[in-house]
Amino acid sequence: MTYHLAGDSTVAPMSPEESPMAGWGEALPESVDAPVRNLAFGGATTESFLSTGRWGELIREVRAGDTVLIQFGHNDQKQPHLLAARGGYTDRLRRFVAETREREATTVLCTSCERRWFDGDRITPTHGDYPNAVRDLAHELDAGLIDLTAFTTWLYEDLGPDGSVALLSHFAPGETAAWPEGLVDDTHFRLDGARRIAAFVGRSLRALERRDGDESAKGSLLVH
Q: 100: Cβ–Cβ under 8 A, 6 or more apart, which residues?
A: 59, 62, 68, 106, 107
| Rounded Cα distance, 173 and 177, in Å | 9
Q: Which domains does the chain have, with CATH numbers?
A: 3-223 (3.40.50.1110)
Going residue by residue through the chain (224 aa), what tens digit of pLDDT does each one get?
Answer: 999 999 999 999 998 889 899 999 999 999 999 999 999 999 999 999 999 999 999 999 999 999 999 999 999 999 999 999 999 999 999 999 999 999 999 999 999 999 999 999 999 999 999 999 999 999 999 999 999 999 999 999 999 999 999 999 999 999 998 999 999 999 999 999 999 999 999 999 999 999 887 744 444 444 44
| Rounded Cα distance, 148 and 201, in Å | 8
pLDDT number for residue 223: 46
| Rounded Cα distance, 97 and 93, in Å | 6
Instruction: Identify the bridge partners of residue 145 per DSSP, sorted by sequence position.
Output: 109, 222
Neighbours of 157 (CB within 10 A): 16
- Whole-angstrom CA distances from 214 to 33, 55, 82, 93, 218 are 20, 30, 39, 26, 9
Write out the DSSP string of the chain. --EEEEE-TTTSPPPGGGTTEE-HHHHGGGT-SS-EEE---TT--HHHHHHTSHHHHHHHT--TT-EEEEE--TTGGG-TTTS-TTTHHHHHHHHHHHHHHHTT-EEEEEPPPPP--EETTEEPP-STTHHHHHHHHHHHHT-EEE-HHHHHHHHHHHHHHHHGGGGEEEE-TTS-TT-TT-EEEEEEEEHHHHHHHHHHHHHHHHHHHHHHT-TT--SPPEE-
pLDDT number for residue 211: 83
**Most distant CA pair in the chain, distance:** 56
Q: Is 210 exposed, middle or buried (0-12, 13-18, 19+ CB in 10 A)?
A: exposed
| Rounded Cα distance, 82 and 97, in Å | 19
